[in-house]
Each structure stands twice: as structure tokens, then as C-alpha cells.
Chain A
């Protein structure tokens, strides 16, 4: 048993050296396959990030009358925070609002002049509310409308942003659907690419396999060296694909990717390096040995 195992390994390595061209071709295809599969998975991750970013952009603001007390506003804030589906409630005081406004319009001399003429702070205090879903937003708005007078709310900007929020959420849905669709198609193509490459390489050696059967070799004795070659093929291709992604994280700055950088391509790559390594090595080895096993089966029937 051990002799045969060892022999299969040695013969596998020797055959690999002698069929190096074939091996190189398969390595390249498997490398591409793994690259595509990894891209498809990254696409999913990035889409999730993008959806999160988009959802974070949606908010409802409640503006308070100048006479509203800060204590009451904070009381309302903690009440809203208890509403299910609400992810964040941010209090912006009159002073903060003015500070922000000034910063935004710095370098505008007319504005500074106008503020001076008014003499007091004309900006209202406000609460910024973020939520997971359109329903949660609606619940919050309903609640705020009920308490409008009690808490001296001057205005809700929900009606302005309602359609935008709905649009953002529906875009998120579409994005998720398309990323899964494209990822699935890419994965499918990649799988068949490597499957047929290995099939062809085994096909080119079918006479040899048949001859081995007729001499009296058992199926496992014939398969052994081929399976070892499959494992080596998977390991080498997996390592190559991983190194490429590793190189991307090392060499390229986030800025180089513009929008993709903003939604965290490099971050996703960096935080998932170990997973990427495992994915490439395991998927490579699995695909190569699985495809080899099935490709060879056909010629073992003699």
C-alpha cells in the first residue's frame, strides 16, 4: 500500500516533468479560473459594501423651533433610538449647525457679513436619523408627526427625501441581484473552462491509460499519479492566483481605484488575505483533482 502510494507520487512528479507543456497550459487555465472565481467573490463583498454605503446616505432630519429645549430634544432622541430598525440618531445643536455651515461656506465674505447683520444664530437644532429599511423610516416619521407640537418640531424633511430613500433601497436590491448573477455566471464559465482543459489533457493520454489497463494495472494504480499531478496543479495555480491578489494589495494605493477604492476594494482584499489564500489553494486543488478524477474515469472502462 505504502509502496504504491509512494510510487504514485514519484511517477506523478516524473510524468509532470515530461508533460511539462501540458502542465503549464493547465496551470494557466486554472490560474485564470481561480482569478475569475476570486473576482466573483470580491464582487459580492464589494456590492455589500456599496449597499451599506448607499443605505448610510439615506436619512431623515427633524428640525426644531428655536425655543425647543436641548433636554427635550435629547429625550426625544433616546425615544427614537428605541424604535426597531433605527440604526443611528445624531443630535446636531444650533452651535454645531452654525459651525458646519460656516465651514462649508468659508471664503464667502457676503455670508459672514449677513450673519453679522442678523446678530444671532439663525440655524435650527436638528436630529439626523438613519434606519435599515423604508418601513423603519416611515415608523419614525409617523412617530415624529404625532409628537410635533409636544417637542416643538418645526419641520421634517422626510417628504423631500422619501422618494430618494426608496430609490436607494431599490438600487441596493438590484445591485445585489446582479452581483449574484454575474458572480454565478463567471463561476460557471470558470468551472467549465478548467474541467474541459483537464479533460483534453487526459484525452491526449487516453491510449496510454488503456494500455495500462490491458497490462493489468488497477484503476487506483493508474489514477494515483494523475491525481497527484492534479493536486500539484491546484496548489501551484492557487498560489499564483493568490500572489496576484497579494501583489495588488501591496503595490496599488487605494486612490488608484477611485470609486472602487472608496467602497473598500483594498480594504476587502487586505482583511481577507488569509481567506483568499485558503480559497485559492482549496478551490484549486479541489477543482483539479475532481476534474482529473472524472476525466480519467471514462478511459478506465477497458
Chain B
């Protein structure tokens, strides 16, 4: 589904974030991308969502070279991908319900459908009781669960998670990882970028290990080693 073909990304003035990286991610797969800070994990995710373009090489999504997508078509491409961040990126002036509904509003779905679907997804992530709270009234774990609900409500093919547990305590971390595994079981591919060894050991799925922009190891049974 996603194919990186000899991708190199150099940020000006010459910082090589990715160096000739190739890998494939299949539909429904769960992949952890691990490595130290600055190893290139986040760059991979930003390239997939086309926040950045590769300096050389190609990235294919469902057989399409994504660097060829025109700017005006970019939103439609991004709707196929769900993404959650370490800092959640919730819309601060909108309630939990409205944040999740936003992902359906941009698709132009009717209000009735939104009213039905949002509470269901919020129930899936365990946020149905805080539906009318604003992000600043929530704990970190709750904010992340809201962000996940927003990312999956439009049923994307793949969910990108960039250090989703970076700001969370071990208890909340486990809950979020369990949630990601649950989403994966429902058929969505998950790409998880993390530097947390416990998280990877918890997941026990394929691990791509990056160091200084290169793939050091692509381990399909994966436990994280330092």
C-alpha cells in the first residue's frame, strides 16, 4: 500500500534526515518505526502525509506517486490517512464532539450522520462522557484518545501515530497502545513512530529501526533493542 523507493530527504542547509530508504508497508499491517530523536522517524510520517517532499526517490501510495499530487488535490489525498501527534493538535476552541465531527464535516457528510457516528466512535475510544468538554479541560490521555477518534472516524486506510505516547504516563501509554492495536485489528494499517522501548515491546509487531536516516534493521517479529 505504501512503498518508499530509495527516498532521501535533505533539509537545508544540508542536514540529511533520510538516506536512501526503501521499504513497503502492506494493507492492515502494524509497523513501528523506532530510533533515537533525529533518526528520521517523524520525517517518514511527514513525507507520507506530504507535509514534505523527498529530495530524491519516490513514495507510492496505492500505486500512485504522491509527489505528483497537485496542491489543490492534496486535501483529498490526506483524507485517506489518519494522523495523531505527540501534541495532539486538537482544535482548542472546539469541544471533543466538534473536534471529531470536523473530520466528517470536511468530507461534506450530512449533519444527521455526524450526530449518529461521532458518539459511536467516541464510545470506542472511551470518551463518550466527555463529549462536550474542551481540550483544555482534558488530561493528556483523554486528548490523545480524542485525537485518535478524529483520525479514525473517516475510516482511513492507514493511521500514522507520531510519538502518540510521548507526553503520557505508563498507564495512559498502555491504554493508547491497546487502542491502536484494536484499530489495527479492525483492518486499518498503523504506522507508529516512537523511541519508547516499552511501547514496542508491548506491541510485538514489525519494527523498522532507523539510525541517522538509514534503516538499520527491519525486523518482522520485533522486539526493540537498544
Instruction: Give A40 to B147 CA distance when docked, in angstroms.
Output: 51
Q: List residues 92-108 of chain B with CB under 8 A from any CB of chain A.
A: 92-93, 102-103, 105-106, 108
Flag if A216 contacts B76 (CB, 8 Å).
yes
B150 CB–A CB distance under 8 Å: yes
B123 CB–A CB distance under 8 Å: no
Least Cβ–Cβ distance between A111 and chain B, in angstroms: 82
With contact pairs A215-B150, A216-B78 given, residues A15 and B93 touching in the complex (Cβ less than 8 Å): yes
Q: List residues 203-251 of chain A with CB under 8 A from any CB of chain B.
A: 207-208, 211-219, 221
Q: List residues 169-221 of chain A with CB under 8 A from any CB of chain B.
A: 207-208, 211-219, 221
Task: Among A4, A11, A207, A218, find the residue whose CB has the most chain B CB atoms closer than 10 A.
Answer: A218
Chain B contributes a number of interface residues (CB within 8 A of A) equal to 22
* Chain A contacts for B91, CB-based, 8 A: 208, 211-212
Residue ID in chain A nearest B109 by CB atoms = A3
Q: List residues 66-108 of chain A with CB under 8 A from any CB of chain B.
A: none
Q: A7 is contacted by which of B72, B77, B92, B105 (Cβ under 8 Å)?
A: B105
Least Cβ–Cβ distance between B47 and chain A, in angstroms: 13
Flag if B78 contacts A19 (CB, 8 Å).
no
A255 CB–B CB distance under 8 Å: no
* Chain A contacts for B150, CB-based, 8 A: 215
Instruction: Give A211 to B51 CA distance when docked, in angstroms.
Output: 11
Flag if B89 contacts A207 (CB, 8 Å).
yes
Flag if B49 contacts A214 (CB, 8 Å).
yes
Residue ID in chain B nearest A210 by CB atoms = B89
Q: Chain A, 1-25, contact with B by CB distance < 8 Å: what is the 0/1 string?
A: 0011001000100010011000000
* Chain A contacts for B51, CB-based, 8 A: 214, 302
Instruction: Give A221 to B77 CA distance when docked, in angstroms.
Output: 15
Least Cβ–Cβ distance between B177 and chain A, in angstroms: 22
Q: A215 is contacted by which of B77, B92, B102 (Cβ under 8 Å)?
A: B102
Least Cβ–Cβ distance between B77 and chain A, in angstroms: 8
Residue ID in chain B nearest A302 by CB atoms = B51
Instruction: Give A207 to B72 CA distance when docked, in angstroms.
Output: 20
* Chain B contacts for A213, CB-based, 8 A: 75, 78
Instruction: Give A11 to B78 CA distance when docked, in angstroms.
Output: 22
Flag if A3 contacts B110 (CB, 8 Å).
yes
Q: List residues 154-200 of chain B with CB under 8 A from any CB of chain A.
A: none
* Chain B contacts for A214, CB-based, 8 A: 49, 51, 78, 83, 89
Least Cβ–Cβ distance between A5 and chain B, in angstroms: 11
* Chain A contacts for B81, CB-based, 8 A: 216
Flag if A216 contacts B79 (CB, 8 Å).
yes
Least Cβ–Cβ distance between B169 and chain A, in angstroms: 24
Least Cβ–Cβ distance between B61 and chain A, in angstroms: 14
With contact pairs A207-B89, A208-B92 given, residues A217 and B49 touching in the complex (Cβ less than 8 Å): no
* Chain A contacts for B92, CB-based, 8 A: 208
Least Cβ–Cβ distance between A202 and chain B, in angstroms: 14
* Chain B contacts for A4, CB-based, 8 A: 108
Residue ID in chain B nearest A221 by CB atoms = B106
* Chain B contacts for A216, CB-based, 8 A: 75-79, 81, 103, 106
Instruction: Give A212 to B92 CA distance when docked, in angstroms.
Output: 12
Flag if B106 contacts A211 (CB, 8 Å).
no
Q: Chain B, 39-52, contact with A by CB distance < 8 Å: what is the 0/1 string?
A: 00000000001010
Instruction: Give A111 to B102 CA distance when docked, in angstroms.
Output: 93
Least Cβ–Cβ distance between B110 and chain A, in angstroms: 7
* Chain B contacts for A218, CB-based, 8 A: 72, 75, 106
Least Cβ–Cβ distance between A7 and chain B, in angstroms: 6
Instruction: Give A188 to B103 CA distance when docked, in angstroms.
Output: 41
Instruction: Give A211 to B91 CA distance when docked, in angstroms.
Output: 8
With contact pairs A3-B110, A4-B108, A212-B102 given, residues A217 and B75 touching in the complex (Cβ less than 8 Å): yes
* Chain B contacts for A207, CB-based, 8 A: 89
Q: List 26 A-B contacts (CB under 8 A).
A: A3-B108, A3-B110, A11-B105, A15-B93, A18-B93, A207-B89, A211-B89, A211-B90, A211-B91, A212-B91, A212-B102, A212-B106, A213-B75, A214-B51, A215-B102, A215-B150, A216-B77, A216-B79, A217-B75, A217-B102, A217-B106, A218-B106, A219-B75, A221-B75, A221-B105, A221-B106
Known: A7-B105, A208-B91. 10 other contacts (CB 8 A): A211-B89, A214-B49, A214-B51, A214-B78, A215-B83, A215-B102, A215-B150, A216-B76, A216-B77, A216-B106
- Could you tell me which A residues sit within 8 Å of B by CB distance? 3-4, 7, 11, 15, 18-19, 207-208, 211-219, 221, 302
